A and B are shown apart, each in its own frame.
Chain A
Amino acid sequence: MPPSERLPLEQVLEIVSALEAVVLRSFGPEGGQVLFTRDTGQAMLSRSGTCILSALHLEHPLARVVVESVWKHSRGTGDGSKTFILLLASLLRGISKATSRGPSASHAYGFTEAAKAAAAPYFANKLLELVSSDLDDLIAVNVVPYGFCVSLEDFTTHSGRLLLASFFHTRVSHVHCSYLSELTCEMLNRWKYKSDLPYISFQFLSDNFPALHTPVSGFPVSSSRLIEGQVIHRDFATPCLPSKQQPVKVVVFTDYMQPILLSTGDVLKLGYGGGVTPESSIVHFSAWTERSLESVIAELQSLGVSLLLSAVKQSDAAVALATQAHMSLVECVSEEELSLFVQLSGVTPVSRGCTIQLEHVAALSFCRPILLGGHRYVQVAFCESPKSSKVNPCSLVICGPGEGQTDQYICAIRDAVCMLMTTWEPKHTSETTASRGTLQSDKGTASLDMTPTFQSTANKPYGLKKCVFEPGCVIPAGGTFEFLLSRALPNPSSDTNGLPSVSQLLANALLSVPRQIYSHSPKLFLQAQTRIMSLVQNPSNPFSLGLKESTPGPMVDLGLESVTCKYQLILAVVQCATSVLRVDTVLHTRTALHTQSKKHTIFSRASTEDEAED
Chain B
Amino acid sequence: MALNGDDEDYEWEPPTEAEMKVIQARRERQDKISRLMGDYLLKGYKMLGDCCDACGTILLQDRQQKNYCVSCQEMDSDIDKDNPALNAQAALSQVRERQLAAQTPEVNDGPSSSSSSSTQASGSVPQPRPEHCEGAAAGGRTPLPPPAVPPPSAPVPATPLPSARPPAPPQSSVFSPVLQDAEEAVLTKLRWATAQLQSSASLEASIQLCSLISSCANSLRSLKELSQ
Residues of chain A touching chain B, judged by Cβ–Cβ distance below 8 Å, are: 5, 10-11, 13-15, 17-22, 24, 34, 56-61, 63, 101-103, 108-112, 114-115, 118-119, 122, 497-499, 586, 588, 598, 600
B window 1-56: CB within 8 A of A: 1-6, 8-9, 11-12, 15, 19, 22-23, 30-31, 33-35, 37-39, 41-42, 44-49, 51, 56
- Number of contacting residues on B, CB 8 A? 35
In contact, B49 and A586 (Cβ under 8 angstroms): yes
Q: Is A14 within 8 A of B2, CB to CB?
A: no
Contacts of B178 in A (CB 8 A): none
Q: Which residues of A contact B58 (CB under 8 A)?
A: 11, 14-15, 18, 60
Contact A103 B23, beta carbon cutoff 8 Å: yes
A60 to B1, CA, bound (A): 30
Count of inter-chain pairs, beta carbons less than 8 A: 102
Chain B residues with CB under 8 A of A119? 1, 3
- 13 more A-B contacts (CB under 8 A) besides A20-B38, A22-B42, A497-B6? A5-B51, A14-B34, A17-B31, A18-B47, A18-B58, A19-B41, A21-B39, A57-B41, A59-B61, A102-B15, A109-B9, A110-B8, A600-B49
Query: Which single member of A17, A24, A60, A103 contacts B48 (CB below 8 Å)?
Result: A60
Q: From the candidates B42, B47, B56, B61, name the one contacting A15 in the complex (CB within 8 A).
A: B47
A18-B34, A20-B38, A110-B4 as given contacts; A59 in contact with B46, CB under 8 Å:
yes
Which A residues touch B46, using CB under 8 A? 57-59
Instruction: Indicate if B163 sits at the interface (CB-CB under 8 A).
Output: no
> In the complex, how many angstroms separate the beta carbon of A353 from the nearest chain B beta carbon?
53
Specify the chain A residue showing the minimal Cβ separation from B39: A21
> A111 to B15, alpha carbons, bound, how many Å?
16
Judge whether A497 and B3 touch: CB under 8 Å: yes
Taken together as a complex, chains A and B put the C-alpha atoms of A61 and B41 apart, in Å, by 15
Interchain CA distance A18-B70 in the complex, whole Å: 11
Complex Cα distance, B16 from A440, in Å, reads: 67
Q: How far is the CA of A138 from the CA of B141 in the complex (A)?
A: 75
Decide if B57 is an interface residue (CB 8 Å cutoff). Answer: yes
Inter-chain contact B42/A115, CB cutoff 8 Å: no
B41: contacting residue among A22, A101, A103, CB under 8 A: A22
8 A–B pairs (Cβ distance < 8 Å), ordered by A: A17-B31, A56-B42, A58-B47, A60-B58, A114-B2, A119-B1, A119-B3, A499-B3
Q: A18's contact among B5, B41, B51, by CB below 8 Å, is which?
A: B41
CB-based nearest B residue for A57: B46
- Taking CB atoms and an 8 Å cut-off, the chain B residues in 131-160 that contact chain A are none
Cα of A59 to Cα of B45 in the assembled complex, Å: 11
Q: Which residues of A contact B47 (CB under 8 A)?
A: 15, 18, 56-60, 63
With contacts A59-B48, A60-B47, A588-B49 taken as known, whether A18 is within 8 angstroms of B11 at the C-beta atoms is no
A103 touches B12 (CB 8 A): no
Known: A20-B38, A22-B38, A60-B47. A14 touches B33 (CB 8 A): yes
Q: For the complex formed, measure the closest distance between the CB of A299 and the CB atoms of chain B, giving whole angstroms.
A: 59
When distances are taken between beta carbons in the complex, the residues of chain A under 8 Å from B11 are 110
Question: What residues on A are CB-neighbors of B61 within 8 Å?
Answer: 59
Q: Could you tell me if A111 and B4 are in contact, using CB atoms closer than 8 angstroms?
A: yes
B9 A598 Cβ-Cβ under 8 A:
no
Chain B residues, CB < 8 A from A17? 30-31, 34, 37
A14 with B49: CB separation less than 8 A:
no
* A122-B1, A498-B12 known; A20+B49 contact, CB < 8 A: no
Expressed in whole angstroms, the minimum distance between the Cβ of A422 and any Cβ of chain B is: 29
A114 nearest in chain B by CB position: B2
By a CB distance below 8 angstroms, the chain A residues around B39 are 21
Q: Are A34 and B42 in contact (CB under 8 A)?
A: yes
Residues on the B chain within 8 Å of A118, using CB? 1
A17 nearest in chain B by CB position? B34
CB-based contact A109/B34 at 8 Å: no
Q: Complex formed: what's the CA distance from A56 to B38 in Å?
A: 10
Say yes or no: B2 contacts A115, CB within 8 Å. yes
Instruction: Give the chain A neighbours of B33 by CB distance below 8 A.
Output: 14
CB contacts (< 8 Å) of A108 on chain B: these are 12
Inter-chain contact B5/A110, CB cutoff 8 Å: yes
CA distance A471 to B217 in the complex (A): 76
Residues of B within 8 A of A110 (CB): 3-5, 8-9, 11-12
